[in-house]
Amino acid sequence: MNEATTLTVTHPTGKYDVLIGSNLLPRLRELAHISGPMVLITDSHVGPLHAARCGQADCVLTMPAGERHKTLATANSLYVQLLAAGVDRSGTVVALGGGVVGDVAGFVAATYMRGVAFVQCPTSLLAMVDASVGGKTGVDLPEGKNLVGAFKQPTAVLADIDTLQTLPSTEFAAGMAEVIKHGLLGHARLFADIENEGRRLPTASPARLQTLVSEAVRVKRQIVQEDPFEHGRRAVLNLGHTFAHAIEQVSQYHIGHGPAVAMGLVAAANLSARLAYCAPQLQTQIEQVLTAVNLPVRIPANLPPAALYQAMGSDKKKAAGQLRFILLQDIGHPLMVDSVPEKSVLATLGEVQG
Ligand SMILES: NC(=O)c1ccc[n+]([C@@H]2O[C@H](COP(=O)([O-])OP(=O)(O)OC[C@H]3O[C@@H](n4cnc5c(N)ncnc54)[C@H](O)[C@@H]3O)[C@@H](O)[C@H]2O)c1
Ligand SMILES: [Zn+2]
């Protein structure tokens, strides 16, 4: 068995290790240096599959699976269960699950008794490469996603690659959208590797998945270390996301985040070429990679460009009343552009529909 990869993330108040490898969960206490009471928070899909493998949890709390449960009501129910279990400030909350569990459990850890220690055990590809690193936690409101939250740095992140064996293939593809985004942002080799392996990746060996996840985490680490509180540079992580959030919203969330990001990456490349920041071939190159991992590359024709454009205006990532886009000069060279003409965005939306 391969040795785990350790990537240390530094943040304003300290640092933590992200461990990526096989068979980590049985050694959770030891690897995450947990000495006091340990409470596992998981969801109704992941709990039955993986909770028993997590070494010596004192108590397991299970939330219903799914984004619609990423709410204050779920957080409230968890607070009550923590109290009933007698957990005090010496306890550690461990999130075992995808990004939804990580975000809710992290928010609970940030706020329960003004904060208890927090460990992330991401089990979806998306949570491994994106949600579990960087310290953002939170819940949704009926008015929108992630509107209430806190920065809560974990004391350790354990990405046990073995858990990916039970991840549904559509969820694997969704995570690949963020892996590809990370390749485009900062890692030409990661992108080239995905180009070469494409269709074989979902069934790749644990060792290969370990490398893939590690390389994607390296990109995220670099960016969050430069901008821990999202004041500037971290915005590049929104590559494709201004489009994606509008696509999710206008489709009334029938299109999930991963597929929407895939469409958004194509649109971002199209817009970048239209505004002469990059060569038009970049869009083709991105489409080939996304197609190889079973992600869509066209926005469904039933989502009108005007409605999508309007939805972008309501996205909270708007800077001072102007639409901000993360565009690409090339692979590994994103840039932030603050005043993109409406007609260019509409032309792009029209062109990437199909
Ligand atoms: N905090 C951040 O920086 C950050 C970054 C990106 C995304 N997010 C958040 O992450 C969430 C999306 O994360 P996600 O895609 O992991 O969604 P998710 O947590 O809903 O997981 C997707 C589905 O896969 C299931 N699942 C997870 N791991 C599994 C496994 N190993 N085996 C079988 N089933 C498994 C889950 O139960 C769920 O049904 C969103 O709420 C998003 O806002 C947060
Ligand atoms: Zn995303």
Q: Which ligand has the nearest atom to the CA of 150?
A: 1
Predicted confidence at residue 199, as pLDDT, reads: 87
Distance 340 CA to ligand 1 centre (A): 32
Q: Please give the CATH superfamily to which domain 169-354 belongs.
A: Dehydroquinate synthase-like - alpha domain (1.20.1090.10)
Q: Name which of 177, 26, 39, 21 is nearest 101 in CA terms.
A: 39
136 is catalytic: yes
> Tokens 């996205």 sit at which residue?
315
> Which of 45, 221, 245, 324 does the annotation list as catalytic?
245
Low-confidence ranges of the chain (pLDDT < 70): 1, 314-322
Q: Where in the chain is the domain with CATH 1.20.1090.10?
A: 169-354
User: 36: which residues sit within 8 A by CB, 6+ positions away?
Assistant: 90, 91, 92
- The reply to whether ligand 1 has any atom less than 6 angstroms from the CB of 132 is no
Predicted confidence at residue 324, as pLDDT, reads: 86
How far is the C-alpha of 89 from the C-alpha of 188, rounded, in Å?
A: 44
70 is catalytic: no
**Candidate CATH numbers 3.40.50.1970, 3.30.590.10, 3.90.550.10, 3.30.70.141; the one for domain 5-167:** 3.40.50.1970
50 is catalytic: no
pTM: 0.95
Closest residue (by CA) to atom 3 of ligand 1?
A: 131
| Ligand 1 atom nearest residue 106's Cα | 1
Q: Where in the chain is the domain with CATH 3.40.50.1970?
A: 5-167
Predicted confidence at residue 198, as pLDDT, reads: 85
Predicted confidence at residue 314, as pLDDT, reads: 58
How far is the C-alpha of 305 from the C-alpha of 128, rounded, in Å?
A: 33
How far is the C-alpha of 39 from the C-alpha of 28, rounded, in Å?
A: 12
